[in-house]
Amino acid sequence: MSARRAALILFIAASASAHTLVDVGMSIEAPRFVAMQQTFTYHVIADDRNNDNGSGIVITIVLPPAVKFVRASGGSTFRCSESKLTVTCAADVIIPGPNPIDVTVTAPATTATLHATANTQSLGSLDLTPGNDNAAADVVVYDAAACRQSAPTLIGPVDESPQSAFVRLSWSPVDGAQSYSIFTAVEGAAAAPMLVTDKTNASLIAEPGRSEWWVEATFNNCPPQDSEHRHFTTTSTAPRNVVTYAGAPNFRAPYGLALSPQNEIYVTDESDNVVRKIVGGTVTTLAGAAGVAGATEGQFALFNGPRGVAVTPLDGYVYVTDTQNHEVRILYTGGQFVPAFTVGSAADFNAPSGIAATFRGNLYVADTANNLVRKMTQITGFIGLFTISTYARDLHGPLGVAVDQNETVYVADTEDHTIRKFVNGAGSILAGESGVAGSSDGRGGEAHFDHPTAIALDARGNLFVTDRNGVRRIAPSGLTNTVARGFATLTGILVDPSDRIFVADPPAHLIRMIDRATAPPPATAGRRRAAH
């Protein structure tokens, strides 16, 4: 038996021996406001975040003393009972993923703030992540007779009017309002609060396309009130600053980028054959030996031209496409050293490049030289074991792949100059014209790309793509605009929670950061945030 194969078996054996390890994270969903004597439900989630069943799980939910208990249900998973406003739900086994419990109560006949808590105990399993074992939720009970505030009335701009990238908004004041939150949704992207102010006017930076906007007035002890919704259309793009985030001598040819749940940036260096990490501007080598190509596994792993990198959100494992070895590797980052092992071999891959991870740890890989996208599905009960299947075929040298929370898959079909969208395996062209390279912006096939390379999603469902024109943004509607021009050699891309864009520029040996757009605020504007 080869040393390489033996190391992999030892790794799998270590995983198999840890079947009793779980990570049960607790959360509570509840309405923000309820009227006096209204019946409502606490939706409690015990989320088994490990890829294995949990056993002997007990959930304790402590209800506020002022409520009246109605019922509790844990479905077929939990057996629930209630005593003195404490609900106890026990399960012999819970499966990976969310395991819900619904607790219904009636609010008191007086105004109050209701505080509920939930806690998990793993009696038959070992939970090594106690930090997420507790959850809480506050609900404000209000007097409907006393809460008769009106909603704001929008003043400007006029509905469906054209606007520049810097949009001035105004609305009527509302008696008793503590603040106003401005929401926007651009070209099918998820709605998001853009700014909060105590004024009745503000300035926004808007992305190109048709924006929906409205104002929410918030009060001290009453539910918020939303204005009517209006729309405006922006055709220009606000400029963004592009700066060097990291560079030589730390990088020779950075290629792939990924962001961890802790906002650490992982970078593959294709020429240096290593995987690096950036934390607070400090660059360290995570795995591999600088300048040394190889295929060794384990603590002293070697790589050969690694390109793609992804981090699984729940467990923090790092996956790398070791392109010239035609493999996919897992990097275990939880110990004093970082071993790497093969989880997908040359029997399944030919020069894999982009890789993307779902929330639950399944992987999608751009199998470039095979003109495919492969899906790697975790085998329950094991770390680093997957079934590998073909998810999409008949592509054209795809280099980039991204996946959203619904497992909709997006592919940079590089030699076809298109961005493709796959829903349950059924594909269509989201943006670009098949076989036609170009640089034009527009909607759907009106836009043109030149060898799109990497692709990433932001929190609202917008896609960001690197091609030989620079960085492009594709809204969920398919409208494409160019965010940054003048960069013909960009590869990897990511978008952080602050809406900053990071790109890898291999020939320049740099990681570049494209900052959020900024605008001069009007004298009466509140706190600003760039709108996307």
Alpha-carbon distance of 170 to 153, in angstroms, equals 9
Tell me which H or E stretch contains 12.
helix 3-16
- List Cβ neighbours of 480 (8 Å cut-off, separation of 6 or more): 431, 432, 441, 442, 443, 447, 472, 473, 474
User: What is the structure's pLDDT at 313?
Assistant: 87
User: What is the structure's pLDDT at 529?
Assistant: 41
The DSSP bridge partners found for residue 117 are: 62, 136
Alpha-carbon distance of 444 to 477, in angstroms, equals 8
| Contact between 382 and 16 (Cβ < 8 Å) | yes
Domains and CATH numbers, the chain: 24-142 (2.60.40.1510), 154-234 (2.60.40.10), 241-515 (2.120.10.30)
The string of DSSP letters for 355-381 reads EEE-TTS-EEEEEGGGTEEEEEEEPTT
Establish how many alpha carbons lie within 13 A of residue 22's alpha carbon, considering only the half-sphere containing its beta carbon: 26
Tell me which H or E stretch contains 168.
strand 166-171
The DSSP bridge partners found for residue 34 are: 141
Cβ burial, residue 498 (10 Å; 0-12/13-18/19+): exposed
Mean pLDDT by 10 residues, the chain (532 residues): 42 45 92 98 94 92 98 97 98 94 98 97 86 96 95 97 95 96 96 95 93 97 97 92 92 96 95 95 94 95 98 91 97 86 96 96 97 94 90 97 96 98 95 97 96 97 97 96 92 96 96 84 43 43
User: Can you tell me which residue has the tokens 């007086």?
Assistant: 110
- List Cβ neighbours of 468 (8 Å cut-off, separation of 6 or more): 450, 451, 488, 489
User: What is the structure's pLDDT at 20?
Assistant: 65
Give me 438's structure tokens. Answer: 């170009």
Alpha-carbon distance of 503 to 405, in angstroms, equals 22
507: helix, coil or strand? helix
Alpha-carbon distance of 356 to 365, in angstroms, equals 7
- Measured over the CA atoms of residue 226, residue 162, residue 195 and residue 474, the dihedral's sign is positive
Alpha-carbon distance of 481 to 431, in angstroms, equals 11
User: What is the structure's pLDDT at 125?
Assistant: 83
Question: pTM value?
Answer: 0.90
Alpha-carbon distance of 210 to 208, in angstroms, equals 7
Give me 147's structure tokens. Answer: 């809460």
Tell me the CA distances in angstroms from 469 to 27, 301, 327, 430, 437, one per residue in order: 44, 36, 30, 18, 10
User: What is the structure's pLDDT at 437?
Assistant: 97
